[in-house]
Structure 1
Amino acid sequence: MTAARCPICRKPAEAAFTPFCSQRCADVDLGRWFNERYAIPVEDDEEEEAPEPRRPLLDDA
C-alpha cells in the first residue's frame, strides 16, 4: 500500500494537513479555488431568462 501524496507537490501527506504535506500546499490549493483556477461543472436544467432591459430615466427639466 502506498502512502498518500500531496496533490500540489507530490510529497508524502502529513496527518496534520491531510491531504497536503504542509500548510503552504494547503494555502496554494485554497488560492487556486479563490482565483477560480478550479471549477465544479454545473448543468442548468432550465434556460435562464434574460433580464428585462432598464428604461432610461426621463429628465423633466
Structure 2
Amino acid sequence: MSERKSGTVEPLRPKRPCPECGQPSSRETYPFCSVRCKEIDLNRWLSGAYSIPATEEEDQGEDDQEPR
C-alpha cells in the first residue's frame, strides 16, 4: 500500500483545460471553467453545430428477405 501524507486529499478528477477557452476547469462546472463556457457548448449541441456521425445500413426490401 502506498503511504499518504496526513492531511492531504487527492482530487476526484484531474484538472483539465476547458474545451471552450482553455482555462483550468472548475469543479462545479467540470469539464468547463465556467457556466458561460458550459452554456456555449450546450448551445452548439442544440443548434446542430455538433453532430455524431452515423452510418446508415442498407434496408433490406421485402424481395431481398428469405421466406420463413
**Shared fold (TM-score greater than 0.5)?**
yes
Structure 1 alignment gaps of length 5 or more:
50-61
Higher helix share: 1
% identity of equivalent residues:
38
Aligned residue-pair number: 47
By relative contact order (CA 8 Å, sep 6+), the higher-ranking structure is 1
Q: CA RMSD in A?
A: 1.8
> Deviating runs (4+, > 4 A) in structure 1?
none
Match of residue 30 from structure 1: 42
Structure 2 alignment gaps of length 5 or more:
1-13, 62-68
1:4-60 deviation line (CA, Å, top 9, x unaligned): 00000100000110100001100000000011110000001124x8xxxxxxxxxxx
AA at the equivalent of 2:52: I
Match of residue 4 from structure 1: 16
Q: Aligned equivalents of 2:58 and 2:31: distance in 1? A: 36
